[in-house]
Amino acid sequence: MRPASSAVFSSLTLCWVSVVAAAENSEAAIPQKLPPQSVFIDPRSFAVLNQNGPFRNDTFNQLFNPTSTAPPFFQIFDPAFLTILGPNPSFHIVASNDTFAFAHEAPIFVSELDEVFFASNDGGPLGNSDLNHNNKVGKISMKDVDAAFQSLKPGETGKAFQVPVTELVLPDTIQMTNGGTGPFKSSLVLINSGRGPLPPSIALVNPNPPHNATVLLDNFFGRQFNSLNDIKVHPTSGVFFFTDVTYGSLLAFRPPPVLPNQVYRFDPMTAEVRVVATDFNKCNGLAFSADGKTAYVTDTGANAGLQGNDFTAPATIYKFDVDPTTQTFLNRRIFAYVDTGIPDGVQLDTAGNVYTGCGDGVQVFSPSGTLLGKFFIGSVSANMVFAGDGRLVIMGETKIAVAMIAAKAVKLSFP
């Protein structure tokens, strides 16, 4: 979770011509043919900017875009990103509202309905939510998105659409939804930050009207959580893992924290809850490899809510081994440190590539931690979700972008 940022500009003045010139002696570094809406940026073209170069001094409001290409587009830093995109990708804004950050986080794809659910920003600028106002949960139909894409003329790129966004009416037990996953037993799994004295919670919600909800957890042995943030279902055990962090307090809609920022394990069958990872500045998003043996957790300490940004604090993705017996997170190591904003939500594809929402869109890293490329939207993305194979739905705060690509979604299979 993070407040939306409306100040977006590039501090670099390099152009595509200089990128090509810098790499002209190494043809292997430049793909011979680029797919639509894409730009290749050779890392050697900006490795040295010289004494008076266009250095950035703000990683939240100054984006790395050394081209004149207008978003949305694909930034390619490594030729391996072409495998993710495929030969003919497409990238468009499909819904927008400049006055409301309606598409913040908690994206969930329900294949039976062909719909993507999501939540608005809770407590941040343009979120229309605070101590006295709950945030909103909405959805879009991927059938509408597919119809919009099919209306494109050959070679037509960059066109923006406005598919309908439907707002859900949820029970009062659902307060400040900030994360989600599933479906789990035909229900949405929503994790909620709470509001004022109303407790943070994990709840199962019917994706169909009347959207009845069942709260599964709202305390740790009698203590309220700080403000629950993100949640994932372990891909083989079916147990829930979730993060708790102090953003509710930092954004002035929750009381002062009473617990450390930690990652928890919750068994929905027995209601057992325990800590599996700690010692974070601000743990945020999390995800698992397809076999469940590896966990990724983002630390968004560089964003301190209303207290401002600290460029020296973590904007980092950590990688862990998952203990096969206890499911505790072990052997913590740095997987990636992002160059713009903070890494918020995180997802994986079937090849093990790691996708994370950052200050300029979605950044994609190889399983070894190499930055392959970006789905560059020119503004903050807190999260994203695969709506089946080849459809990446990106939450862009005041807009939703959809990229049609070649990568495939990880399919959960519970015992």
Per-residue pLDDT tens digits for 278-329: 999 999 999 999 999 999 999 999 999 889 999 999 999 999 999 999 999 9
Residue 14 clears pLDDT 70, i.e. is over it:
no
Residue 49, token pair as written in the block = 């900017």
116-138 average pLDDT score = 95
Quick check: 38 and 86 in contact, CB under 8 A? no
Residue 17 clears pLDDT 60, i.e. is over it:
no
**CA-to-CA distance for 76 and 319, rounded, in angstroms?**
24
**CA-to-CA distance for 82 and 34, rounded, in angstroms?**
8
Write out pLDDT tens, residues 62-109: 999 998 888 999 999 999 999 999 999 999 999 999 999 999 999 999
How does residue 414 score in pLDDT terms, banded at 50, 70 and 90?
A: low
Residues 6+ apart with CB under 8 A from 240: 189, 202, 231, 232, 233, 234, 265, 266, 267, 268
The tally of domains found in the chain comes to 1
pTM score: 0.93
Q: Tell me if 313 is assigned to some domain.
A: yes
The type of residue at 69 is T
Q: What is the DSSP letter of 69?
A: P
35-58 average pLDDT score = 93
Name residue 162's beta-bridge partners. none
Write out pLDDT tens, residues 223-242: 999 999 999 999 999 999 99
Residue 163, token pair as written in the block = 């598919």
Burial 14-48 (b: 16+ CB within 10 A, else e): beeeebeebbeeeeebeeeeebbbbbbbbeebbee
- C-alpha neighbours within 13 Å on the C-beta side of residue 56: 21
Query: What per-residue confidence (pLDDT) applies to 9?
Result: 37
**CA-to-CA distance for 394 and 403, rounded, in angstroms?**
8
Read off the CATH number of the domain in which 372 is found: 2.120.10.30
Kindly report the length of the chain.
415
Q: Tell me if 194 is assigned to some domain.
A: yes
Write out pLDDT tens, residues 154-210: 878 889 999 999 999 999 999 999 999 999 989 999 999 999 999 999 999 999 999
Considering only CA atoms, give the Rg of the chain. 20
Query: What per-residue confidence (pLDDT) applies to 126?
Result: 92
Q: How do beta strands 262-266 and 240-244 pair?
A: antiparallel
Query: What per-residue confidence (pLDDT) applies to 86?
Result: 96
Which range marks the domain in which residue 141 is found? 9-49+59-404
Q: How far is CA 368 from CA 310, 333, 334, 351, 386, in A?
A: 27, 12, 11, 12, 21
Among residues 355, 347, 349, the alpha carbon closest in space to that of 375 is found at 355
Q: Tell me if 195 is assigned to some domain.
A: yes
Among residues 361, 392, 382, 330, the alpha carbon closest in space to that of 145 is found at 392
**Percent of the chain surpassing pLDDT 90:** 85
Write out pLDDT tens, residues 138-168: 999 999 999 999 999 887 888 999 999 999 9
Q: Tell me if 329 is assigned to some domain.
A: yes
Q: Tell me if 330 is assigned to some domain.
A: yes
3-state secondary structure (DSSP) of residue 4: coil
Residue 94, token pair as written in the block = 């499909």
Q: Tell me if 414 is assigned to some domain.
A: no
**CA-to-CA distance for 136 and 36, rounded, in angstroms?**
35
Q: How far is CA 205 from CA 36, 175, 185, in A?
A: 39, 13, 10
Q: Tell me if 1 is assigned to some domain.
A: no
How does residue 268 score in pLDDT terms, banded at 50, 70 and 90?
A: very high
Q: Pick the residue with more confidence: 52 or 223?
A: 223
Residue 283, token pair as written in the block = 């743990």
Q: Tell me if 85 is assigned to some domain.
A: yes
**CA-to-CA distance for 297 and 322, rounded, in angstroms?**
12
Among residues 363, 360, 362, the alpha carbon closest in space to that of 380 is found at 360
Q: How do beta strands 177-184 and 391-395 pair?
A: unpaired
